[in-house]
Structures are given as structure tokens and as C-alpha cells.
Structure 1
Amino acid sequence: MKLIPSHMPVVESARVHSFASIETPYSWWLALVTLVITSLSFGAVTSIPVLLKPLAHDWNVGVGTIASVHLTAMFGAGLGSLLLGRLLDRHGFFCIAVVGALSTTAGLVLAANATHLITLHLAYGILIGGVGQGAFFSPITAALAQWFDRNQALAIAIATSGQGIGGLCLPTLLRWATEGWGWRLTLTGYGIGAGLIMLLCALAFRKAPSSSPSISHEANGVRTTPAQKRRCVWVLGMGIGLSNLAAFMVIGHLTAYGEEQGFAPVSAAMLVSVMLGATLVSRFSFGYAANRWGRYPTLLLMSALHLFGIVWLVVAQSYFFLIIGIILIGLGFGGYLPAYGVLMRQLFPASEAGRRISEIYFFAFITAGIGSGMGGWLRDLTSNYVVTFSGAATSASLAFLILWYQRAAFVSELPPIAE
């Protein structure tokens, strides 16, 4: 048993209680529906990094200018998730899901018909990012978590796995369609098709989740004062912020980097698919790893993998070694993202889940946008991606160091976990 100084906040696992689980077959059906929605939404907001080169060429601007549209989308998503997370706690997720699906379609169609860059910023910042991604990341994750108790870590991992599914399939598809029909027709078709599917999936959220009166805040194993909770939140916020800054300095420019290295456009887009596809391995194994080793130790492990992958990418000299670095980054990114949501959910009761999970992922959205925009600016400044990727490695290093030196604030959980 580890001894923690009395002044340190304690986050520990819930003990297994004898309450009846709220999980039903419908819970797992909702998990599948959530995965479809988040995959399509991620494809919409990631269309900017994937189509960076064609858009820059068509608008006759630098990649940094187009990358700033992704920055706008991420800022919009962060702010939107804060607002929609609070609405979730009060009114449920069904109406949010319907509005999010319609906004994603409207945003992509508007972007496809844009004649000014400001229109792209409005379409991605407000409709696709602010309302669409703002609904279909943090709030939908919190909404799904309300249907689970014993497998809540796995549920959150599934909800965030849309980045992996969407990242595995959609970048190559979007780039291939753009080669044949142009980016405008591609965005229009994707917006209409994805919007219809998301609307149908939203119907599954008409049913309200079951409640478990026997589960209290203390049953979640939280024994922290408000001041200690704030400290934990700031540690997690700095960790996810710096990690995502690093991740999107890479993700936001990987396709463009591949094209500059001489790869065919579709092959360059596949680099993003490989990276985000690798996230699926760590996302779907996160629940087991968290139960086996503890949630915070798992977060540390995934953050270390993420850092090692970016450093590997900086020094990679061949396509083979480039792929290895990309896979390592994907594994780390895929594991650390749900870990933050799970730790936040453990700190606070279910009645605050929407707001609290949205707050921690707000840091992720904002720094993701900054990372994407900063990466483009550094590339235009230096005419290559060496400084961009080196900056990403520095940011990932800072994130890991903060998490490592603050590890005493968290106690590793012992399985099994029941919440």
C-alpha cells in the first residue's frame, strides 16, 4: 500500500458495491451508435487538415492560412462543448444530437460553396466545430457514460474512438474523392450523407438513461476537498493541453508533410489514417489497462508513448521509420485522451458529468487548434516541418514531466472498478 502525504488530494477506485448494474443491451447499442456519430463528426472537422494542400492551391494562399481555419474550428468546438455540456446536464442529449447533425451538414455545404476565406472560418468555426464537434465529443461522451457503471472506462474509450474509426477510413476517402471530383463537391456529398446518418443515429438518444440511486458521490471513491479537486483539474488540464498541442502540430500537417516528401496525395493522406487507426488499439484496450494498472499510471504510459513517437518522427529518415513513429504517436494519443475523461468523471458526480468532461476537453480543443495553426505558421516561416515537429516534441515532453511530477496527487486504482 502506498503512503500519500495528508495534504495531497486522493483519487482512488470505487469499491465494488452490491447495487444492480444500470448497464443493459441498450447501453451497448448506444455505444455503437455513438461510435458512428463521432467518427462522422471527426471526419467533418478533420477535412481541413486532410485537404490542406488542395485548399491552399485553390485559394492561392499558404498552408498556414488554411490551417488557421482548423484553429477556428477547434476554438469553436471547445467553446461549444462547454455550453452544450451544461445543456446536457439539464435537458439530455437528444435535441443536442439533432442540432449537431444539422449543423454539420449545413457547415460542410456552406464551406463547399465559399467564395471568401471568412466564409470557411464561419462554417468551420460555428457550424462544423462549435455546434457539430462541440456536441459530438465531450457531451456525447458524457451522455454515453450515463448508461454505464461497471464498464464506464470502456464506454468513454468507445466514445472517443470515433477519432480512430473516422481517422482510419475518412482521410483517404476524402482525398481520393477530391482527386476525382474536387474538394467542393466532396464536402457537399460528405455533408449530406454524414448528416443523414447522424440524424438517424440521434434517434437512439430519445430514451433517457437509467438512474442508480444507490450510487453516491462517495461511492465513486472521491475523497477530495474542493481545493484539491481544483488542483487535480489544473494538472489534468495542463497535461491534456500540452499533449494535444503536440499531437495536432503533427496530425494537422501530416498529409501536407507526406506530399512535400514526395508521396502521392492518397498515400500522404494514408499517413493520417495509419496514425488515427493506431488509436483504436489503445482506445479499445484502455478499459482493461486502466483496470489492470490504474488510470493515472495508464495515462503516464500513454503520454510516454506519445512523446517517444514524436521524437522518433523528428529523426526518422525513411518511410519505414516514419510509419513506426506515426504508429507510436497514434497509440499514445489514443490512450491518453479517454484517460483524462475517465479521471474527470471519477472526480465529480454523475450530475456534473456533462459540464466537467466538457471542461477538461475544452483544453484539448483549444490547444489542438493552436497546434494546427502554429504548425502551419512555423512551416511557412521555415519552409519545412523540422521546427514544427521539434516544437511538438518539446510540448509533449512538458506534458509528460508535469504528469510525472504531479503523480503523487493521484493514487493508482485497484481493479475491479464499479461506478
Structure 2
Amino acid sequence: MTDHSAPARAPDNRPYILIASVLLLFVSAGGMYLIVVALKEVAQEFGWPRAVPSLAFSLQFVGSGFGGILMGWVLDRLGMGAPALIGTVMISVGAVLVSGIDAAWQLYLIYGVMFGLAGQGSLAAPAMANIARWYDRRRGMAVGIVSSGQALAGIVWPPIFGMFMEATGWRDMFFWFGVLCLCTMLPLCLLVRRKPPGLQGSVVAEGTSRVREKDKPQCPPMTPNGIQFSLCGAMIGCCVAMALPLGHMVAFATDAGLPVDQATLVLSLILMAAFASRVVLVGLLSDRLGGLRALFVFSAVQGITLALLTTVSEFWALCAVGVLFGLGYGGVFPVYTVAIRDHLPLRQIGWRTGVIFLFGAIGMALGGWMGGYLFDVTGSYTLPFLIGAAFNMGNLAVVAALIARLRPRAPQPMQA
């Protein structure tokens, strides 16, 4: 006999949201590596200095930063469905349009607006902020897994792009990637459109609000705006350092005498290590140490290995240092989301994440452009890599100050 007195249990949609979010970031992040692989070929075809495609690479981060604020606001009010759909259409159409460019301003416009503002800005920060709203326990693990989609893109796409470009040229590479994005990402938008149960309706559930109050330190020594301001400054420092190898590793390795296939393999190994870091280390460290302390560890590894890259040129050495760099770099972005969720108001997590990630985008843009500009001036990547390591030291100083001012909170038992 069926018992009708027991309330029906709502289905757990978290695994579907998690998987769909990973796949969205995996496919869409491929667009970031298109210009990385084709940087030298695009510059040579048009007779441009490398600073031109490097600036396009940078503009997507600037655009994504501003887009992340707008789409964070949309996420807080409408859920993830609208940002996911906008990002899907913009990246798909943008890739197709790049295949037909004949002027630098066209490349800048497409990368700044379509790949950046309305593309990555609609997906990267909103997806991580969204999954942080779905999970209370093992939040660091969930955020790390979702962000691993970007790292997985770096493992898979650069070798494919390299082979495709050598076989058909960079224009066809962009065109067919755009077609692939549209076909694969549209169905995923339907899965991520759901809202977390605690946020369905006009107000946040009271139980959720009470739990979040327990997460806050007693008599916090900093206001939310003060914490956010500090995280913005820290984000610039680590992202300038991060962007240099990501944007210039293929060019850096081929300048050292490596063929394109080995150069793209070095980049893939970096991102393979970043993938492993996000899947395993982000949850392991942030769920035990907290977001800020985990951030300090990952950033320290990133800065040290970036400086080491200036001392090596052999294939095996680049692979070894690159893997260590990837382990550090891979954890940096996700643990910012964990730190934001740890110390800032839940109902504002979307737009606050967008603001902080905007400063990360500025740092990525500055680092990517600086690498190309200083290479054109000096003929070497040594100076930009060392300047990036100095920026990373600034990040460590800010994070250390935050750790000192914000008392560690004891982990609270929380129902998933």
C-alpha cells in the first residue's frame, strides 16, 4: 500500500548542473586557445607585430570581466539559463566571424565583445558562482570540478587546433570550432537553467540565511566591501602572472627551438596539471584550510615556477616546470570563488564574483598584452616573465594581509 502521507522528496539536480557546467566551460574555453595556437600565423599573414593578436587575446579578458558583472547580476535574479544561452551564441558566431577577418580592428571587436563581454563573461564567473550556490558541503570540490572544464579545454583543444591548423589553416580552424560550439552548447543551456532550491522564489529560504550567518566570523574586522576591494587587488597580481605562460607558451617554446607539436604539448601539460589541481587539490585544500589559505598556497607555487621558466629551454625542463606551474595556476581562480562564498553575502555572490573577476580579467589582459609588447621590444620573454613574478609577489602580500585580519572560522556542519 502506498503511503501518501510522506512528502515527495525533490530530485537532486546538483549532479546534472555540475556536469553540464563542466561541459559548458570545456567547450567555450576552447575559444581562448584558438588565438594562442594561431598567434604567430595570424601575425605573419597580415604582417602584424605579435602585440596585435596578443592584444586581441587580452581584450577577451577585459570584456569578460565587465560581462561577468552584468551576467552576475542576471544570475542573481534569473538563474544561469540566460547567461549560458547568450554566451553560447556569442562564442559560436564570434569564432565563425574571425575566420573572415581582414583587419586588426575586426579581430579586436570580435574578441573584446563576442568572445569576452558576451561570451566568457556570460559563462566563466557565472558558472562558478552558480555552482557555489548549489553546494554547502564540499563547496570547494564542486567549484574546483566546474572550473576544471577550462583546464580540460587546454589539455584537449591546443593539440587539436595545432593539427587542424597545419592541415587546413587558421581560418578553417576558427570556422569549424564555431559550428561545433553551437551544436554542443545549446542543449547544455537547458540543463543549467534551473535555480538552486533555496533560491527559488522571490526570497532566500530562512534556513539558508541562518546557516550563512554561522559562517561569518564573530565581530568581523573587515566590511564586505573592504574584503572585496582587497580580493580585487590580489586578483590583478596573480592574473598578470598567470596570463604570460598561457598566452605565450607556444610562441615561447617555438622561439626556444621546439616544433609546434612539442610547444602545444607543453601548453597541454600545463593545463593537464591545472585540471588535476582543480579536480583534486582545490577541494582538498580549500575545504580544509579555507579559501584564502588555499589561495596563498596555489599563488606561491605559480609565482615561483613562473620565475623558473626564464631559466629553462629544453623540452623536458619546460614540461617539468610547466606541470608545476599548472598545479599552482590551476587552483588560483577556483579558490577565489570559495573565498567569496566564505566571507561575502550569499545573496550578492553573483555580482560580487563578477566584480572581482573583472579585476582578474584586467590582470589577464595586462599580462597577455605585456608579454607581446615586451617581446617586440626586447626580443625575449625573460623580462615579461620576471615582471609577472613580481606581480605575483604583490598578490601574496595582499592575501597574507587578509589571512592575518580575518580570523579562521571553524567548519560548521551543514546539510548538503
TM-score (norm 1): 0.90
Is residue 302–residue 325 contact of structure 2 (8 Å, CA) maintained in 1? yes
1:3-402, aligned counterparts within 5 Å? 25-211=12-198, 212-216=205-209, 217-223=212-218, 228-285=223-280, 286-402=282-398
Q: Which amino acid aligns with 2:245?
A: V
Partner of 2:29: helix, strand, or coil?
A: helix
Distance 2:399 2:193 in 1: 39
Q: Which amino acid aligns with 1:66?
A: P
1:214-243 deviations in Å (ceiling 9; x for gaps) = 121413325466953222222222222111
Distance 1:60 1:410 in 2: 52
Is residue 283–residue 334 contact of structure 1 (8 Å, CA) maintained in 2? yes
1:46-102 deviations in Å (ceiling 9; x for gaps) = 311221111111111111111011111111111111111111111222122111101
Shift of 1:317: 4.5
Distance 1:307 1:208 in 2: 38
Structure 1 residues 23 and 229: CA distance shift in structure 2, 3 A: farther
Q: Which amino acid aligns with 2:249?
A: L
Distance 2:287 2:393 in 1: 26
Q: Which amino acid aligns with 1:210?
A: P
Distance 2:323 2:302 in 1: 9
Partner of 2:242: helix, strand, or coil?
A: helix
Distance 2:215 2:410 in 1: 13
1:101-144 deviations in Å (ceiling 9; x for gaps) = 01111111111111111111111111111111001111111122
Distance 2:192 2:355 in 1: 22
**Bigger shift: 208-217 or 89-98?**
208-217
Partner of 2:257: helix, strand, or coil?
A: coil
Distance 2:62 2:258 in 1: 31
Q: Which amino acid aligns with 2:207?
A: S
Q: Identity, % of aligned pairs?
A: 26
Structure 1 residues 23 and 123: CA distance shift in structure 2, 3 A: farther
**Bigger shift: 46-55 or 240-249?**
46-55
Distance 1:206 1:27 in 2: 12
Is residue 344–residue 360 contact of structure 1 (8 Å, CA) maintained in 2? no
Partner of 1:218: helix, strand, or coil?
A: helix
TM-score (norm 2): 0.91
RMSD after superposition: 1.9
Partner of 1:214: helix, strand, or coil?
A: helix
Q: Which stretches of structure 1, 4 residues or longer, exceed 6 Å deviation after superposition?
A: none
Aligned length: 398
Q: Which amino acid aligns with 1:129?
A: G
Is residue 132–residue 338 contact of structure 2 (8 Å, CA) maintained in 1? no
Distance 1:336 1:159 in 2: 14
2:3 corresponds in structure 1 to: none
Unaligned 5+ residue runs, structure 1?
A: 1-21
Distance 1:346 1:140 in 2: 17
Structure 1 residues 222 and 406: CA distance shift in structure 2, 3 A: closer
**Bigger shift: 369-378 or 273-282?**
273-282
